[in-house]
Amino acid sequence: MKVLASTALAALMAAGPAGPALADIKIGSTLAMTGPASFLGDPEAKTLEMLVEEVNAAGGINGEMIELIQYDDGADPNKARTFAVRLIEDDEVVAIIGGSTTGTTLALMPEVDAAGIPFISLAGSISIIDPVEPYTFKTPHTDRMACQKVFEDMQKRGISKIGMISGTGGFGASMRKQCLEVASDYGIDVIADESYGPKDADMTPQLTNIKATDGIEAVLNPGFGQGPAIVTRNYSQLGIDLPLYQSHGVASQGFIDLAGNEAAEGVRLPGTALLVADILPADDPQTEIVRAYKTAFEQKYEMPVSTFGGYAHDAFRILVAAIEKAGSSDPEAIRDAIEETSGLVGTTGTYTFSADDHLGLDLSAFKMLEINNGGWTLVD
Amino acid sequence: MKLGSKHTTLLVLAVIIIVAPFFFPSSYYFRVGSLIFINGLAVTGIVILTGYAGQVSLGHAGFAGIGAYACALAPVYLGVHPGLALIIGALLSGAIAFLVGRPILRLKGYYLGVASLGFGILVAMLLTNEAQITGGPDGIRVADLGIRGLLREMGFRVKGSELWYVLTGICLLIGAWLALNLHDSPTGRALRALHGSEVAARTVGVDVARLKLQAFVISAVFASVSGSLLALQNRFITPEVAGFLHSVEMVTMAVLGGVGSVLGAIFGAAILTTLPQVLTVFAEYEYAVLGLVMMLVMIFLRDGLLPSLAKLIKGREQ
Amino acid sequence: MSLLQVDGLGIEFGGLKAVDNVGFKVEPGEIVSVIGPNGAGKTTLFNMISGIYLPKAGRVTLAGQDVTGMEPHLLARLGLSRTFQNLQIFQHMSVLENVVAGFHLEESGNVLSDLFALPGSRKRARTVRAKAEVLLARVGLERAAGAEAGSLSYGALKRLEIARALALSPKILLLDEPAAGCNAVETEEIDELIAEVAKSGVAILLVEHDMKLVMRISNHIVVLDHGEKIAEGDPETVSRNPDVIAAYLGTAAAQESEHA
Amino acid sequence: MPELMQFLLSGLTVGAVYALVALGFTIIYNASDVVNFAQGEFVMLGGMITVFAYGAGAPLPLAAAVAILTTVFVGVALNKLAIEPARGAPVVSLIIITIGASILIRGVTQIVFDKQIHRFPAFTGDAPIPFFGATLLPQSLWVVGGALTVFVGLYLFFTKTLTGKAVLATANNRLAAQLVGINTGWVMTLSFGLSAAIGALAGVLVTPITLTSYDVGIGLALKGFAAAMLGGMGNPKGALVGGLLLGVIEAMTAGYLSSQYKDAAAFVVILAVLFAMPQGLFGAKSTERV
């Protein structure tokens, strides 16, 4: 029995954290590599993997190699929380990138906060950085900004009465709420407000109701996954002849493929420079970085680059820059350095953090895109 | 040593809970431990409903959702202490189970399954859609139970995960004690009787509808408390806690471990809680391996892991 | 006033009359047998009397109270107990616990008291356990008390069911083919057991195919065929009734005897 | 009025999807009393394999045939490797096996293929067909037609063919079926194969409308299961009516009441029906035999 116990103990110890490898910087991530948000988590995880290889091949950060520890939380908040504890307590990472969704991000925030580990989220909701929590940052635009960008464009076109059809998943529901809040700032009236479930196969009833509402001038569809593609197809099936706006949640070539060129024609959405890398003016500050990432990713994985992978790209760049600047892998020093990030150009926009802004992007980073002939064009 | 006898089971559980921490290399293991205990508590409720009474529910996560959101919402809207909110949630779950159970439990087999499934989905849907109150799909923060603060004032500094290991461990022991009490009690016997033969149970005077309802209510309270504990520990909760997958997970844990015995079911909870943590080494093969493990266990150890292993060992000895 | 009185009882399944207009009486301490060929409706009749099927017509009166269509668990409270043609044993319980389960009405109390194992619950369980042991001894199964019920022989299970039914201290006991599948020795044991129970004042309603057993122990016999009562009376009378003979030997035989 | 028609068309399209999944459930249930929770994965495989075969250059009919045959193979393998060795296990253990199988199939699919959302073109174009002021897509006709065809086929199979009757007999009493010379092992293989084929066919038909990815199976299985129970498990008529009814209720609720609670309305109706008819709309009433 005694032998057994000591063997078990030894085995457990061996399974625990390996001896301190002082030369390495351990970075953790927990992403929705599988599950309902895998189209976010998958490119995010691949991006991190690729960039870590790149940085290590170029000699690491201040001569130290990066070790990336990735976990798949399947978009389950409880799992994300557990992996956060594992990363912090067991793997002893110095920083965490992750939380593909708002739910997973909010779930693990109390943990990073208690442990004092800097954390960069890849999720959309404004509730992640408002109010500002000391250790939490994020790279994607907030859903509120997406609403503002869309409404700005509607205002320019003289649209004032719109219908909304939102997904009931986290992304759609959160963006719907933000849009309803800021609509009046742009003189926009939401006169039809429908929704659909994340697995729904047909949205014609909701769209029929929107179509039948008098005075509607445009329709906005906050949501991600297959829903917006089906909405777009149903929209064209019903012959609705009004401008259709989608959210940044579907800013990828995949969306056009799913909706079909014909149905997607003329759809507008707020997107990032990444989607229009090829037609970006050469003097745009983002052109270089966007093209480099796109080329590398598409070469390595043989799949089109997506906005979401771009969020991970930016988070990693911000983190690396902060570690370099801090000159140490002390979590506290890294956090301070992230907060001092200024003018860092990423695929999503140019980041300037401060003590009361843990997103560091403004509306200018968003580009209003329109789908024409199965490709993206810049509206402004 | 007879598997399932009350004192043995409690002793085994208590020893494991107390001794295991001596082997924990980091406080992450305490976190996994407390998740096992929380799931174990819910699964113990399933043992009462499914193992004793033979009724299958695919909607018990609905009660976990009620318990969890009671802890999130009651402190905000009623101004009560989160600990009291747990009790409010348990009472509410019991009351709802009482109301819903009577019509649902008239159904048998898969029909009961789909009706309870419908109930669970309705709860999850309410939690998702009534975002003004529940915070919607992105979840909601939960107030601090305050025990850590209290201990700190008294001069004890403990880590959150360690504290929750102890709290949930105690809750599991209490839950197991209750379930084991029930097993050998007149009520438990009547439940197992109606599982064995409903018609025979009726003819010896068992009010089958009433007893099924009692089992349903008790197991709902177990699920509710488990949901509350999860919410209080994470200090954050999303509607997933009430989701269909969580309901299925509860049943799977119980059946995989052995739904007939409390210890077996808790063992099942331990396996299915740790498996995803262990399987991370398989990276993208994780789900394939998980599915395979479930199938292999059920094919070759059909009564569940623990009972089958016990039988195997007994067979060896003889 | 008879202990059990059945009047004009009938039921249909999919338009087919399974039992039609059957009536008879059972007095305390009396052994009444219901006989008839397979499919005559004997078990269906039992199921209606014991509240498992809801009769379409007729009335069942127990000790002067109309109990037609009353739920089985309420009938149990009034002192009606039964066994089953196809065994309905609690397979995963021990032999002793099967009998203890029969004491449900006596031992059951408050569910909360059971959950917290309060002294009241434990005391009730203990008392009942002792009584169950006595009953097991009465049917000769005391040695098997700890075994899992599923492991017993068929004959032993039949006796176990009787012990469980007796646990209710019934006023009337319905036995559905208690000797089916039993060997001669076992049949004799059951025979003795029934007589003994009847002697203690319990009325017995019996369905049985073993004619020797029926003729030997019955006070009164009711004969069913195609769901209808075709004869009634003491064993002697019934065994000589031509309709009964025809029912048992088939219509062809009856016609033959008519022609002869 | 055109609104009502549009809601109805939408409901029938979605309902036909549910009905196709529900029909797949009935066969295995009839042969073995097991609700196969991997049924949704058959639908997913039908869609995903077609996507990738089509993407690799195969013409659509060939891609669909490859998908259906591969799925049949998976279904038969599931029976041979998992269900058959577990014969005699409690039904709840068998259910866990099918849940395990569904996780396994999903896990393997995400490795072999990918985790993206896909579709392939509709069979006969995307030009909406006007219909009493409403419109519907040609593919909807394929789905509804497919559901009806499968229903008629199954109905004839179970009532008119010897093999179909053998399946029902096996479900009723395995031992008796063996005694009268039915090869029950073969009946099981056949049931799983047929069920997988119907599932895969459903996947092929619905993917142009619903799109597909490795994880669409759970959602479809859930709705298909609910539809089958609403109609009465094991009865093809129940599966068809249950599926269509569920779809129409959802569409009507989304159209007239609240799109947020359309799934809720569906389950409220299911609960109401089951309380009044505990065996579903067309389920056989069973009398307790004691």
Fold classification of B27-317 is ABC transporter involved in vitamin B12 uptake, BtuC (1.10.3470)
Question: How does DSSP classify residue A138?
Answer: E
Point out the residues of chain C with pLDDT beneath 70: 249-260
CB contact under 8 A, B205 and C52: no
Report the alpha-carbon distance of residue A125 to residue A140 in Å, rounded.
9
Question: Model confidence over B30-49: pLDDT tens digits?
Answer: 999 999 999 999 999 999 99
Q: Output the pLDDT for position D286.
A: 58
Report the alpha-carbon distance of residue D141 to residue D135 in Å, rounded.
12
Residue type present at position B102: R
Q: Which residue of B has its CA nearest to C85?
A: B200
Using CB atoms, pick whichever of C50, C73, C117 lies closest to residue B207. Answer: C73
Look up the domain containing A95 and give its range.
7-142+288-364
Continuous H helices in chain A: 2-15, 38-57, 77-85, 102-115, 143-156, 170-182, 204-212, 227-237, 253-259, 261-264, 287-301, 307-326, 331-339
Return all residues near B166 (Cβ < 8 A) that are at least 6 apart.
Answer: none
Give residues 91 to 150 of D whose Cβ lies within 8 Å of C: none
Question: Model confidence over C43-98: pLDDT tens digits?
Answer: 999 999 999 999 999 999 999 999 998 999 999 999 999 999 888 999 889 999 99
What ipTM goes with this model? 0.90
Does residue A195 contact residue D260 with C-beta atoms inside 8 Å? yes
Mark whether C and A touch (3+ CB pairs within 8 Å).
no
Q: Please count the other Cβ atoms lying within 10 Å of the Cβ belonging to residue A178.
A: 21
Going by C-alpha positions, the residue among D79, D110, D86 that lies closest to residue D215 is D110
CB contact under 8 A, C52 and D289: no
Q: Which residue of C has its CA nearest to B176?
A: C115
Chain A partners (3+ C-beta pairs within 8 A): B, D
Do the domain assignments include residue D155? yes
Q: Which residue of B has its CA nearest to C105?
A: B205
Q: Output the pLDDT for position A22.
A: 45
Model confidence at A319: pLDDT above 80:
yes
Q: How far is D130 from chain B (nearest CA, A)?
A: 34
CB contact under 8 A, B185 and C125: yes
CB contact under 8 A, D287 and C85: no
Q: Output the pLDDT for position D34.
A: 85
Using CB atoms, pick whichever of D102, D264, D288 lies closest to residue B199. Answer: D288
CB contact under 8 A, B203 and C125: no
Give the containing element (helix H, strand E) for B148. Answer: helix B147-153
Q: Output the pLDDT for position D290.
A: 57
Per-residue pLDDT of chain D (290 residues; tens, 9 = 90+): 688 999 999 999 999 999 999 999 988 888 888 889 999 999 999 999 999 999 999 999 999 999 999 999 999 999 999 998 988 787 788 888 999 999 999 999 999 998 888 999 999 988 899 888 888 899 999 999 999 999 999 999 988 998 888 888 887 777 788 888 888 888 899 999 999 999 999 999 999 999 999 989 988 998 999 999 999 888 889 999 999 999 999 999 999 988 888 888 888 888 889 888 888 888 776 555 55
CB contact under 8 A, B295 and D89: no
A316 in the same domain as A269: no
Compute mean pLDDT per 10 residues along chain B, 318 residues long, and list them.
72 95 92 96 96 93 98 96 96 97 90 91 93 90 89 86 94 97 94 94 95 97 98 94 92 92 94 90 83 90 86 75
Q: Output the pLDDT for position C258.
A: 47
Q: How far is A65 from chain B (nearest CA, A)?
A: 21
Look up the domain containing D154 and give its range.
22-214
Residue type present at position B46: I
- Dig out the tokens for A243 from the structure: 């401008």
Model confidence at A6: pLDDT above 70:
no
Could you tell me how many residues make up chain C? 260
Q: Output the pLDDT for position A15.
A: 43
Using CB atoms, pick whichever of A78, A85, A127 lies closest to residue B28. Answer: A85
**Are β-strands A119-121 and A136-138 bridged in parallel, bridged antiparallel, or unpaired?**
parallel
Report the alpha-carbon distance of residue B229 to residue B235 in Å, rounded.
9
A240 touches chain D (CB under 8 A): no
Name residue, tokens 């029929």: A208
Question: Model confidence over D87-112: pLDDT tens digits?
Answer: 878 778 888 899 999 999 999 999 99
Residues of chain D found within 8 Å of residue B248, distances taken between Cβ atoms = 99
Q: How far is B20 from chain D (nearest CA, A)?
A: 29
What percentage of chain A reaches a pLDDT higher than 90? 70
If one counts the domains in chain A, the total is 2
CB contact under 8 A, B298 and D89: yes
Number of inter-chain CB pairs under 8 A, A vs D: 100
CB contact under 8 A, B205 and C90: no
How much is the average pLDDT of A37-63? 92
Give start-end residues of each CATH 3.40.50.300 domain in chain C: 1-79+170-260
Do the domain assignments include residue A283? no
Domain boundaries, chain B: 27-317
Q: Is A66 helix (H, G, I), strand (E, B) or coil?
A: strand
Torsion of CA B216, B219, B220, B225, to 10 degrees: 170
A226 touches chain D (CB under 8 A): yes
Report the alpha-carbon distance of residue B245 to residue B251 in Å, rounded.
10
Question: Model confidence over A229-266: pLDDT tens digits?
Answer: 999 999 999 999 999 999 998 888 889 999 999 999 99
Going by C-alpha positions, the residue among A232, A287, A269 that lies closest to residue A376 is A269
Q: Output the pLDDT for position B218.
A: 98
B186 touches chain C (CB under 8 A): yes
Q: Output the pLDDT for position B2.
A: 47
CATH code (residue A316): 3.40.50.2300
Residue type present at position B131: A
How much is the average pLDDT of A75-84? 93
- Dig out the tokens for B35 from the structure: 């998740």
Does residue C97 contact residue C147 with C-beta atoms inside 8 Å? no
A74 in the same domain as A30: yes
Give residues 145 to 184 of B whose Cβ lies within 8 Å of A: 160-161
User: What's the sign of the alpha-carbon dihedral D86, D92, D97, D102?
Assistant: positive
Q: Output the pLDDT for position A2.
A: 40
Number of inter-chain CB pairs under 8 A, B vs D: 126
If one counts the domains in chain D, the total is 1
- Dig out the tokens for D78 from the structure: 């599931």
C85 touches chain D (CB under 8 A): yes
Question: How does DSSP classify residue B22?
Answer: G
**Are β-strands A375-378 and A367-372 bridged in parallel, bridged antiparallel, or unpaired?**
antiparallel
* CATH number for the domain whose boundaries are C1-79+170-260: 3.40.50.300
Report the alpha-carbon distance of residue D268 to residue D245 in Å, rounded.
13
**Are β-strands C57-62 and C65-66 bridged in parallel, bridged antiparallel, or unpaired?**
antiparallel
Q: Output the pLDDT for position A20.
A: 40
Residue type present at position B242: A
Q: Which residue of B has its CA nearest to C84?
A: B200
Q: Output the pLDDT for position C182.
A: 82
CB contact under 8 A, B193 and C104: yes
Q: Output the pLDDT for position D289.
A: 58
